[in-house]
Structure 1
Amino acid sequence: MQVVTGEEMREMDRYAMDDVGMKEELLMENAGREAAHALERKNTSAAGTKTVVLIGKGNNGGDGFVLARVLQEKGWNVDVLLLSNADAFQGAALYHKDLYERCGFTWGYWSEKESERIQKEYILIVDAMLGTGVKGGLREPFKEAADVLNEAEGTVAAVDIPSGVPSGEDPVPETAVQADFTITLQYPKISAYLQPASPFYGEIEVVDIGLPGAALRKEKEKKQLWTGQDTARTLNKRSVDAHKGDHGRGLLIGGSAAMPGAVRMASTACLYSGAGLLTAAFPSSAAAVPAGAPPEVMMLPLQEENGYFSPEIRADDLSAGAYDAVAAGPGMGRGKGAETLVKQLVEQAGGPLLFDADALYFLPEHIEALQQRRQPVILTPHPGEMARLAGVSVREVTQRRFSLSRETAARYNCCVVLKGPHTLVTMPDGTQTVNTTGNEALARGGTGDILTGMILGMLLQRQEIQPAVSNAVYLHGLAADFAVEHEFDSYAMASSDIISYLPPAFRSIISSL
């Protein structure tokens, strides 16, 4: 499913009306009617409950008039309150206001008296005040109304987007409606997957308002949610007559005397993600790596200095060209040896190359070499690492996840996996996928190492890069979801506990093939 900004959604509406010939009144009828049906599904016994719909003068308000009419025709007890002057309605919104009135239904104006009733009397409060076209902070009376809704005892349902919340990467104003439930029209808006906007949506249901598929195909920036259906559709099937070489030969580089567990977790996750053969390269003094890694992992201890890779190491020591894919970074530190390895891998590694953790630190000095590589490179930064790669603040990374990821992927000629809630995978051509799994249990040290191993395992399956990486991210989050659902509390668990849930996560996808 595509993800869009408000501007992109309006351009699709324009195409449907001007180029295809759909009437705006029809699109608004579809939107309001589907939103009403969503409320019926959400509130199966609510036909007799007291409901109020708050309406502004724009298209969102027009949707609200349709919704109120449809619900009242089905016997719902619905009041409608306008926050704009009745004379201010225009176009399709005016048409549906007049239709609402001609059907015999009435409305009133927002007032202080009504605001008191909203806080106490209504079971369901529908926010159809402002849509995706609003910029900046809320003005009165919308600001007051948002404050009232945020303190109300009833359930707040927003149409398309909570009033005041931007549809794109603009900052969230001081006051915005905190919805319990948002009925998003046609396509989710990207702010639903950004912080701090995401929590304002509450639960999201997307409804189809009948836009032609040609409208979506006109969009230049392709952003889509990555779901279990996508993973099931793109996950490689394993042949019954395959041998270990068919599932790839991988090299994982990392670890140190201080951080041996990073390679151990990454190695295990890689094996559990389908790798045929895996070699772990680590400083020779990191003895805990061979002691704790799965017995299937082949070991390549390398020259070390003070517990970290020695600056004397050369890529030839690794025979990197003999592997189908290489990953580097977990636990390796930022010493001269790590810097040497990263430089040589960028210049000499022949297959897909993944950089994570400390390896990312050195990449801004190698942009030109990365741009010239013909084989894919995958970067897996968290927001702090992304800030260094992009040369911006962590705050800007958080606010501009979509646009900054596109800029960085193009600049480095890499696939960028920006980790965090709704991890974002961006290809050099700007194509983006938004992950739909995962929970707060992933916010702990070591989960990124597990993801590195999983991506390496997927790269070894000879898939296209985008589905390989997106599938690893999806299954990584799904394993965390299973762990919390079936056994652990997100407080009381370790990152390594997630690995034991990789088999059921894979099984849940494979069983649906």
Structure 2
Amino acid sequence: MQVVSGEEMKQIDKYAMKELGMQEEMLMENAGRAAALKIMERYDDSWKTAVLIGKGNNGGDGFVIARTLKDKGWDVTVFVMPLKDQDYGAADYHKLFYERCGYSYHPWDEHQLIHGGFELIIDSMLGTGVTGELRSPYLEAAKLLNEGKAEVASVDIPSGVPSGEELVPETAVRADYTVTLHAPKQSAMLFPARSYYGDIDIVDIGMPARASWEIDTKCMLWGEKECRESLPERKENAHKGSNGKGLLAGGSYSMPGAPALAAEACLRTGAGLLTTALPASILPITAGHVPETTFLALPEKNGAISEDIYGATLPLEPFDAAAAGPGAGREAGTKALTKRLIKEADMPLILDADALYHLPELKQDIKNRKYPLILTPHPGEMAKLAEVSAAEVNKHRFSLSRSFAKEMNCYLILKGPHTIITTPEGFQYVNLSGNEALARGGTGDILTGILLGFVLQSSNVQEACCNAVYIHGRLADSLKEQQSSRSAVTSDFIRQLPLVFQSLLASS
């Protein structure tokens, strides 16, 4: 399923109508009926309900919803936001149809809304085309909905909330529930806008698939279905070499646990063989936690990898994929390691954590690289890579990710709520798993290990990236079902890997 901005949704609508000949009135009917059916599934038909209708397409949807609910016997009062003599544009057809069915409506009345005893208010005032601060009477209506006790269900998008990366205005409707039409909007995947939506259901409105693929950009959701369908197959006659030979480099005296977490996660994801390269002084510590990996002792300086990283100390030929960064620190040796891997590792390469720190100085080396490069920054690391503030990263997660990945010809995994995976061509995938339990040190190291494990077993780098991120989030979801997200420790996530894989395979 696609994720779209308001402008992209407009392109889809236009193509369906202008090029394919679909009637706009039919689209509104489909949208309104689909939304009404979802509302009827969620709420009791005995609830006293108000529908707030604005101008334009969202208003047209509102007339269809109100008509459908009334046809089913619901007690519905309709308030029309603009006055009767104002232009409703394409919604006029359904406004007239609603009237011909014998149903009436009222002009917007704050007093009647406040004292009407409504248990459910359906917000069908404004849609995806609205940006900036709300104006009267929508501003007053949004304030009343936010301050009142009635349940608020929004149609497509809460009124006032932008559809894309624009700022949320000072006042916008805070819905308890949103029925989104055709495809989720970008803002539903971004904070703080996401907090205005409440629970979300996405409904099919009969939009032709052809229209959806005519938009300029492509962004898709990635969830359980996509993961199950693309998990790498484990063949009956497989041997350890056929499931990949991986190299994991990192660690320092102050962070010996980071490579241990990454290594165990990689092996539990199914990698056949793994070599963990780290400073010699911490090898006994890490080896005690992950006896299944072989080790390569690297030259060190002050407990960190030294700059003497040359062929004999770190041979690259035996490996099918490599990852670097967990626990490495930001010393000069990490820069030397990262530069050598970028220039000489003729295989997929994953860079995370401290391996990302020096990348702004290595951009030309990145651009010259011929083999897949995967970067996994959190917003702070992304800010350094893109040379902007972390606030700017969080404001423009979609557009900034796309432009950076295309410019640097890399796969970019921008971590955070609804992690975004972007390919070098600019295609994007939004992850649907995960929760606040991941907000603790070391979970990024686990993602690096899972990602290396998937890259070793798959010929499709995009699928490997998306599945690693999805599985990583599922670990948190599984853990939250068993205990408080507050009390979990990072190693608990690795213990969930067998359970998550078993669950996915059982449901396939």
- What CA distance in whole angstroms lies between the structure 2 residues aligned with 1:233 and 1:94? 44
TM-score, normalization: structure 1? 0.97
Deviations 1:221-255 (A, max 9, x none): 11000011101111111001100000000010011
SS in 2 for 1:252: strand
- CA distance in 2: counterparts of 1:160 and 1:375, whole angstroms: 41
Contact kept, 8 Å, 2:259 with 2:286, in 1: the verdict is: no
Q: TM-score, structure 2 length as denominator?
A: 0.98
Structure 1 residue 300: Cα displacement? 1.1
Q: Are the counterparts in 1 of residues 253 and 282 from structure 2 also a CA contact under 8 Å?
A: yes
- Are 1:490 and 2:490 counterparts? no
Match of 1:19 in 2: 19
Q: What is the alpha-carbon distance in structure 1 between the residues aligned to residue 287 and residue 19 of structure 2?
A: 66
**Displacement of 1:288:** 5.3
Q: Is the Cα–Cα contact under 8 Å of residues 51 and 122 in structure 2 kept in the other structure?
A: yes
CA shift for structure 1 position 315? 4.4
Q: CA RMSD in A?
A: 1.1
Maintained 8 Å contact 2:256/2:286: no
5 Å matches for 1:348-497?
348-486=344-482, 488-497=483-492
Alpha-carbon shift at residue 511 of structure 1 (Å):
1.9
Q: Match for 2:110 among 94, 109, 112?
A: 112
> In structure 2, the residue corresponding to 1:187 is in which secondary structure?
coil
Contact 1:262/1:330, CA 8 A, preserved across alignment = yes
Aligned to 2:266: 270
Further displaced range: 180-189 or 370-379 = 370-379
Q: Name which of structure 1's ranges 305-314 and 75-84 shifts more when overlaid on structure 2.
A: 305-314
Unaligned 5+ segments in structure 2 are none
Q: Pick the aligned partner of 2:197 from 188, 193, 201.
A: 201
| Number of aligned residues | 508
Percent identity reads 53
Residue among 82, 98, 101 paired with 1:100: 98
Separation of aligned partners in 2, 1:110 and 1:503: 56
Q: 1:304 aligns with which of 286, 300, 310?
A: 300
For 1:65 and 1:324, the matched residues in 2 are separated by 59
In structure 2, the residue matched to 1:5 is 5
Structure 1: stretches of 5+ with no match in the other structure: none
What amino acid is the match of 2:438?
A: L
- Secondary structure in structure 2 of the residue aligned to 1:322: coil
Distance 2:247 2:215 in 1: 39
SS at match of 1:86: coil
Report if aligned partners of 1:272, 1:502 keep a CA contact under 8 Å in 2: yes
Q: Which residue of 1 aligns with 2:182?
A: 186
**Distance of 1:269 and 1:383 partners within structure 2:** 23
Amino acid at match of 1:331: G
Q: C-alpha distance in 2, partners of 1:70/1:229?
A: 32
Shift, 1:287, TM fit: 4.2
Task: Work out the CA distance in 2 between the residues paired with 1:288 and 1:182.
Answer: 54
CA gap 1:47/1:171 in 2 versus in 1, 3 angstroms:
same
Question: For 1:233 and 1:476, how far apart are their aligned partners in 2?
Answer: 17
Secondary structure of the residue aligned to 1:434 is strand
**Deviation beyond 6 Å, 4+ runs, structure 1:** none
Q: Distance in 2 between matches of 1:288 and 1:137?
A: 60
User: What CA distance in whole angstroms lies between the structure 2 residues aligned with 1:368 and 1:336?
Assistant: 18
- More divergent stretch after superposition (25-34 vs 280-289): 280-289
Q: Does the C-alpha gap of structure 1 residues 299 and 17 become closer, same or farther in structure 2, counting only changes over 3 Å?
A: same
Aligned residue number for residue 28 of structure 2: 28
**SS of the residue aligned with 2:201?**
strand
Are positions 1:65 and 2:60 aligned together? Answer: no
Task: Give distance in 1, aligned partners of 2:278 and 2:475.
Answer: 27
Aligned to 2:87: 89
Separation (CA, whole Å) in 1 of partners of 2:436 and 2:371: 34
Superimposed CA distance per residue, residues 340-376 of structure 1 (whole angstroms, 9 cap, x where no aligned partner): 1111111100100000001001111222221222210
Counterpart contact for 2:60–2:91, Cα < 8 Å: yes
Structure 2: distance between partners of 1:284 and 1:115: 72
Give the secondary structure class of the aligned counterpart of 2:358: helix
Shift of 1:318: 1.2
SS at match of 1:320: coil
Match for 1:162 among 146, 152, 158?
158
**Post-superposition shift, 1:49?**
1.5
Distance in 2 between residues matched to 1:446 and 1:352, nearest whole Å:
23
Q: Distance in 1 between matches of 2:113 and 2:150?
A: 13
Q: CA offset at residue 311 of structure 1?
A: 1.5
Contact 2:145-2:173 at 8 Å conserved across structures: yes
Greater shift, 434-443 or 86-95, is seen at: 86-95
Counterpart among 47, 50, 53 of residue 49 in structure 1: 47
Deviations 1:10-62 (A, max 9, x none): 1111111111111111111111111100101112xx22210000111111011
Contact 1:263/1:289, CA 8 A, preserved across alignment: no
Which residue in the other structure is 1:501 paired with?
496
Task: Provide Cα deviations, 1:448-476, integer angstroms capped at 9, x if missing partner.
Answer: 00000000000000330000010010011
- C-alpha displacement at 1:135, in angstroms? 1.2
